[in-house]
Structure 1
Amino acid sequence: MDLNTITEVIRRPPDRPGVDWREGDAWLAGGTWLFSTEQPGLRRLIDLTALRWDALVPSDTGLEIGATCTIRDLYAFVPPDDWIAGALFATSCDAFLASFKVWNSATVGGNICMSLPAGPMITLTVALEATYELCAPDGSARVVDALDFVTGDNQNVLTPGEVLRRITIPARALRKRTTHRRFTLTRLGRSTVFLIGTQTPGTNDLLLTITAGTTRPVRLAFDTMPDARTLRQSIDVVPADVWFADPNGTPDHRRHLTQHFAEEIRRELMDGSPA
């Protein structure tokens, strides 16, 4: 879609791309959402891809993902053998309501910053205990837990001119056993619920991440594997206003699916089934 209110595109922004931020600006990375609908309040686009941030930087401490990393590049990434949770990269990319052609442009950071309940990059990074580095126009930076970034449907903690620079996933999380459950109304539809369970090797813990069915990510942590009743009660105390409602499901439907799939995840990890 043509954006007929845009008067300028900054093709070569400075290393601090928000230094000249003004009302009516928007970051341009993949642009898959930006150009999909009218944007009457925008006047200027700032192209982040020109900064050529590294897409994927693996190290002994974990994986850094540049915010402009495309979904295609993340899908193609081959993690080290001991990063068994790396299988979630492809799983989460497959959860997009988009064709592989969109993957060539859509970015990890863009999906996170849209902050929609069904954003699969949010599910992935929250489940793998990631942190986000946010850079402000004055040159300062702050690090926030992925769990705390999204605050509601299409809402997050970003301030005007602040940009998501990178996502860091710790190696300890990448070495965890994982399993997931996802429900959609159609085979390639938007997620109604998307749950990921992880477990530290050699322990009996459980970290359960609940997304898509909630307006913000919910993470339940247990030092030892809970029984079915305890797990169900933990889900029941999620506030009523956190459950999401749209044409893909009512809050009650999503709560029911979450309880059902959470129990399947609990049993699978408790039984030691393959990740």
Structure 2
Amino acid sequence: MDLNTITEVVRRPSGRPGADWREGDTWLAGGTWLFSTEQPSLRRLIDLTALHWDPLVPSDAGLEIGATCTIRDLYAFARPGVGIAGTLFTKSCEAFLSSFKVWNSATVGGNICLSLPAGPMITLTVALEATYELWAPDGSARTVDALDFVTGDNQNILTPGEILRRIDIPARALRKRAAHRRFTLTRLGRSTVFLIGTQTPGASDLVLTVTAGTTRPVRIAFDTMPDARTLQQSIDVIPEEVWFADPNGTPDHRRHLTKHFAEEIRRELMAGGPA
């Protein structure tokens, strides 16, 4: 779609963009959502792809994902031999309601900053206990827990001109065992619920991440594996207003699915699979 209110595109921003941020600006990365609908309040696009941030930087500390890393690059990284990334990264990329053409442009950071309940990059990074580095227009930076970033449907903690620079996933999270469940109304549809459970190798803990069925991510953690009743009760205490409603499911439907799949995840991890 043509954005007929745009009067300028900044093709070569400074290495640390934002100092000249003004009302009507927006960041441009993949642009797959930005160009899909009218944007009457926008006047200027600032192209972040020109900064050439490294998309994926593995190290002993974990994995750094540049905010402009494309879904295509992340999917290609999720190959055999990279541990948990070989499963959760793949499944999260495949959870996009999009074609391979969109994968070539859509970015990890863009999906997170759009902050929709069904955003699979939100699911992935919260489940892997990531942190986000945010850059402010005044040159300062802050690091936030991925869990705290999204606050509601299409809502997050970014302030005007603030930018998501990178996502850091700790090595300990990449070593965890994991199980996941996702439900859609159609085979290639938008997620109605998307759950990931993780467990520390050699331990009996459980961290359950609930997304898509809720307006913001919910993390439920247990030091030891709960019984079925305790797990169900922990889901019951999620506030009513947090459950999401749209044509893909009512709050009651999503709560029911969450309970059902949470129990499947619990049993799967108790049984020792999958890695």
Q: Same fold (TM over 0.5)?
A: yes
TM-score by length of structure 2 reads: 0.98
- Aligned twin of 1:188: 188
Q: Are positions 1:156 and 2:156 aligned together? A: yes
The corresponding residue for 1:273 is 273
What TM-score results when the alignment is normalised by the length of structure 1? 0.98
Q: 1:184 to 1:137 in 2, by over 3 A?
A: same
Aligned to 2:169: 169
* Deviation of the 1:84 alpha carbon: 2.9
Aligned to 1:250: 250
Number of residues of Structure 1 aligned to a counterpart in Structure 2: 275
In 1: Cα distance, 2:141 partner to 2:99 partner: 34
**Contact 1:85-1:176 within 8 A present in 2 as well:** no
Give identity over the alignment, percent: 86
SS in 1 for 2:132: strand
Deviation at 1:100, TM superposition (A): 0.8
User: What is residue 140 of structure 1 aligned with on the other side?
Assistant: 140
Gaps in structure 1 of 5+ consecutive residues: none
C-alpha distance in 2, partners of 1:80/1:60?
18
Matched, 1:90 2:85: no
User: CA-atom RMSD, angstroms?
Assistant: 1.0
Distance 2:260 2:45 in 1: 44
Aligned residue for 2:198, secondary structure, equals strand
Contact 1:85 1:178 in 2 (8 A): no
SS in 1 for 2:151: strand
Counterpart residue number, 1:19:
19
Distance 2:89 2:82 in 1: 14
Q: Provide the secondary structure at the position in 2 that maps to 1:68.
A: coil
Q: Deviations over 1:29-62 (max 9, x none)?
A: 0000000000000000000000000000000010
Q: Distance in 2 between matches of 1:99 and 1:190?
A: 13
1:114 is matched with 114
Deviation string for 1:121-171 (max 9, x for gaps)?
Answer: 000000000000000011100000000000000000000000000000001
Counterpart-to-counterpart distance in 1, 2:83 and 2:147: 21
SS for the counterpart of 2:202 is coil
Q: Offset at 1:87?
A: 1.7
Question: Displacement, 1:80?
Answer: 7.9
CA contact (8 A) 2:78 2:89 kept: no
How many angstroms does 1:15 deviate by?
1.3
CA distance in 2, matches of 1:263, 1:78: 27
Q: What does the per-residue CA deviation read over 1:194-253, in whole Å, with 9 as the maximum and x for residues that have no partner?
A: 000000000000000000000000000000000000000000000000000000000000
Work out whether residues 78 and 90 of structure 2, in 8 Å CA contact, stay in contact via their aligned partners in 1: no
For 1:219, the equivalent position in structure 2 comes to: 219
Q: Which runs of 5+ in 2 are unaligned?
A: none
What is the DSSP-based 3-state SS (H/G/I as helix, E as strand, rest coil) of the residue aligned with 1:254? helix
Q: Deviation at 1:82? A: 6.1
Stretch deviating more after TM superposition (125-134 or 80-89): 80-89
Residue 198 of structure 2 is matched in structure 1 by 198
- What is the Cα deviation at residue 83 of structure 1? 2.8
**Residues 70 and 261 (structure 1), Cα distance of their counterparts in 2 relative to 1, 3 Å cut:** same
Within 2, Cα distance between the matches of 1:187 and 1:55? 29
2:78–2:87 contact (8 Å) kept in structure 1: no
Number of the residue aligned with 2:54: 54
Q: Aligned partners of 1:64 and 1:30: how far apart in 2?
A: 19
Q: How much has 1:81 moved relative to structure 2? A: 3.3
The amino acid of 2:176's aligned partner reads K
Deviation for aligned residue 1:16: 1.9
Alpha-carbon distance between aligned partners in 2 of 1:84 and 1:253, rounded to the nearest angstrom: 29
Q: Which runs of 4+ in 1 moved over 2 A?
A: 78-86
CA distance in structure 2 between the aligned counterparts of 1:269 and 1:78, rounded to whole angstroms: 21
Aligned residue identity for 2:6: I
Residues in 1 aligned to 2:26 and 2:78: alpha-carbon distance in whole angstroms: 32
